[in-house]
A and B are shown apart, each in its own frame.
Chain A
Amino acid sequence: MQFTRREFMRGGVAAFTVGFAAPAFLSELARAQSATGRSLVVLYLSGGNDALSTLVPYTDPSYYSRRPGVAVPASNVLQVGADLSGHPLGLHPSLTGLKSIFDAGRLAIIQRTGYADASRSHFKGTDILATANPQSAQGTGWLGRYLDTLPSPVDPLSAWNTANLLPHALQAATVGVPSIPNATEYAFSSPNTGVEAEYSAAASLAMSSHLPVEQPQLSFVNSTAQAALATLDRVGAVAAYVPTAVYPDTGVGRALQAVAGSLATQVGTKIFWVQTGGYDTHASQGTVDGGYAGLLSTLDGGLSAFYEDLSNQGLLNQTMVLQFSEFGRRVSENGSAGTDHGAGGLMLALGGGVQGGLYGTAATLDDTPDNPTLENNGRDVKYETDFRAVYARVIDDWLGTDSVSLLGGDFRNSAVDFV
């Protein structure tokens, strides 16, 4: 039987009806949880990031012959040395902040991540990355399954989605994840003032406290309301956070500032989701300047401020950022000075607990059908490291849970030992 996305949502709805911890208990819970301290910040680049422009194989002649309009010139890349196969590589010139973090040994770059028979569909590809299941990309997400392992009652701020839409990766069976795109607007208002406003808040809390099992959809909305009302105070504290670094006024900058605020005020959140879009660069991608360079500047600016802010506050060692996208892009450029949907991609991890460096080997890009590092008749980069091996490393060695049970199989790979 085939499920559509919507059918999955419908099927999954009953799962969200488990109640949340009572508000009075939450601050205790948060304090207990933040003591153990590690957080994972997932930074998702939606649209399919062009890995070959992020990490440039600047000595590969085929890179330049197949990308005459979008290749980054060798003289402009930020060199990061050679990988195990001897390919010299360089970061895109927009990534000056990431280059510093790499030089400090706190940025791991895992090359050619993906899976067999990669989907070139944004939506299916995203679902596969989210569920960690290429065969059947429905059901809970891999991060949602992690949240399901937390002991009950679960603090509603155990995870924090900074995007408007809850990503599939965070869909859990027993935990509802709050989406807080803007901490300052996360408040309860009333048409009346004073004591009448307090009566309204009390009524809202009472009305949403009923969770009838025979009405799972209503219970889902009610439990969402309960989670909202129970988290207002702590999110308000995050909104008042004054950072120690200057964040750029971009979506990703504001989101990462909220993450830092949450870490600094010890909210107790374990999983953050930050998403930034625009990576579907079918046209006018540019090289040193232009559309793609702008995307990476935005990204680099946000991450640099975040890294500095956490360093200043001594929070770097308890934080890991994991960055990826749904697929890499085609090797040859298209007629629009852009690139179409491809396969093998790139994952980055950074933080105080990360062993920096280059992991895996670069593809050689010569356009021959028997090139073992390419697939699809030489069109796309073939994956080398299963993306689930990266998840497994994060789950086992950072989050301290068992990857085999969360991922439904043993994807551990000793070569990706970046934690």
Chain B
Amino acid sequence: MAVDPAIAHLARRAGFGYSPAEGATLNQMSVSGAIDALVDYEQVPDTVDDNIGTPGFLGITTRGPFRPNERITDARQRVLFRMVHSARPLQEKMALFWHNHFATGFGKIAGQIGPDAASRALGAKPSEDANGLRGQYELFREYALGNFRDLLIQVSQDPAMVAWLDGDTNLKANPQENYARELMELFTMGVEFYTESDVYEGARVFTGWNLASNRTADTRYATFRFRPEQHDTESKTFSFPIYPDGGQTIPARSSADGMQDGLDFINAVAAHPETGPRLARKLYAFFVSEFTAPSEALVQQLAGVYYATGYDMRSVVRTLLSSAEFQDPTHYFARYSWPLEFVVRLIKSVGWTGYSAGAAITPLANTGQILFEPPDVSGWRLGTDWFSTGTLLARMNFASSLAANQQFNLRDAATPQAGTPEGLLGYMVDRLEPGPYDTQVENDLLDYLNAGGAWTGSSAQVRTKAAGLAHLIGGSSEYQFV
């Protein structure tokens, strides 16, 4: 049974699609009820990880014990598992949004603090880590719809971020510009709204925001530390207001009070008049459409909520999902899927029994998205950049391998409706839900079903053709949109 289009749209954008069972549940809900359930996700217990390793769920492939807190390949599988199975899909979706927004790469950090410490810095879950470390991805889950200013503070003190943008070497005598530049250019207001001088001053603000290297028994890990003696205590002046009274200068402070410089500066970039609109546009492109720009009225509305609530992202996202623009049917499938969205949605709709998250890691790399390894600090290149001949073939080939893996499950589920080619096609299209096919494409698929002899509906024929359809639909261009 097809899922109501408005609900299906919501499930694709505010989550990763739905399994047939989830689709049946979603169909019982109103759109506004579904939005509330997604946004107010704390009402649902965060128990998804309890099911890792449980029969009936997506599998895990690992050498030895599963160690997602200290081995990056296992951390990647845990993230995938959550995307497939979480009862809080919007939390996972926003964690991915922030992972792209504050894009941090494992490779460079591993070179600086070692692969184990880097894996912990990115993936550790506090309740499972011997030292209670919170990896960067857990930070993004914790603040998924939290306060943006608080998130900026946490990110600025996040060991993975400090290592990634060379904050550990930001010292009084030689300020390191990397973090201050990207905080303004990429994380908040945007490239047109700061000067080179602001970068130099901003670097001085964060002098002394360094790392500590720790070791307990055989465990190495990095933590944030402020080193007062490495903080530049002189005043810092910017081209934009730092304080509500319009003051543009952070005053000279004692080294002991020096950390307040950074907090003042983060307050200022969160409050900057371009930060709210920039986040609004980025969220619009993520949730609503990449094909059209948002109306200025919507940008102003979202930015207004952002400033009025003191940077509460839950209010901003709720406003966006409830907007007429979000619910406009012309925006259904008006976004190029990210490889993770494509892979997870296909797993949810085709099936996972007997399939492992580990089997999806290489296809994800071939389609252009390796978790914890964005191309650089500006994040992945979105939209049409996801699609080249090589990455599109990789998407088709992932659909092929998953379909082959699930061919018996698909056959059993499809058999009741496989009395005719049209029946099987209708079932598979409802189940996978590609963007709308025109008549020509439907005919191409029917030609495929009729190729090789008359339709008998035999077990072997249904198995072959259902898997073939899962491959062709999942690999079709219409399916690459969400």
Contacts and interface: CB of A to CB of B under 8 A. Distances in A.
Contacts of A180: 388-390
Interface string B373-410: 00110100111110111111110110011011001000
B138 interface: no
A282 B176 contact: yes
A146 interface: no
23 contacts: A4-B281, A6-B290, A12-B384, A47-B376, A120-B196, A121-B185, A164-B388, A166-B388, A178-B390, A185-B394, A187-B397, A189-B401, A195-B452, A199-B451, A199-B452, A207-B445, A225-B392, A231-B389, A282-B178, A333-B174, A334-B174, A335-B174, A341-B181
Interface string B237-267: 0000000000000000000000000000000
7 closest A-B pairs by CB:
A335-B174, A336-B169, A179-B388, A191-B404, A228-B389, A221-B477, A178-B389
A222 interface: yes
A123 B477 contact: no
Contacts of B467: 191-192
Main secondary structure of the interface of B (DSSP, over half): helix
Interface string A334-358: 1111101100000000000000000
B471 A123 contact: no
B445 A203 contact: yes
Contact of B464 (A2, A178, A192, A333): A192
Given A185-B366, A217-B481, A227-B389, A204 B472 contact: yes
B381 A165 contact: yes
Contact of A224 (B170, B177, B392, B441): B392
B388 A335 contact: no
Contact of A2 (B192, B381, B401, B451): B192
A410 to B, nearest CB: 29
Contact of A200 (B285, B472, B480): B472
Given A189-B400, A210-B441, A336 B176 contact: yes
Size class of B's contact patch?
Answer: 35 or more
Contact of B440 (A16, A46, A210, A220): A210
B476 interface: yes
Interface of B: 112, 166, 168-171, 173-178, 181, 185, 191-192, 196, 199, 281, 285, 290-291, 293, 334, 336, 366, 368, 375-376, 378, 381-385, 387-394, 396-397, 400-401, 403-404, 407, 435, 438, 440-441, 444-445, 447-448, 451-452, 464, 467-468, 470-472, 475-478, 480-481
B336 A217 contact: yes
Given A204-B472, A210-B438, A341-B177, A9 B392 contact: no
Contacts, number: 199
B343 to A, nearest CB: 16
Interface residues of A, number: 70
A307 B481 CA distance: 43
Nearest to A12: B384
A397 interface: no
Nearest to A208: B477
B171 A335 contact: yes
A10 B294 CA distance: 13
Given A191-B407, A221-B480, A203 B387 contact: no
Contacts of B177: 334, 340-341
Given A6-B290, A203-B448, A336-B176, A224 B389 contact: yes
Contacts of A412: none
Nearest to B410: A191
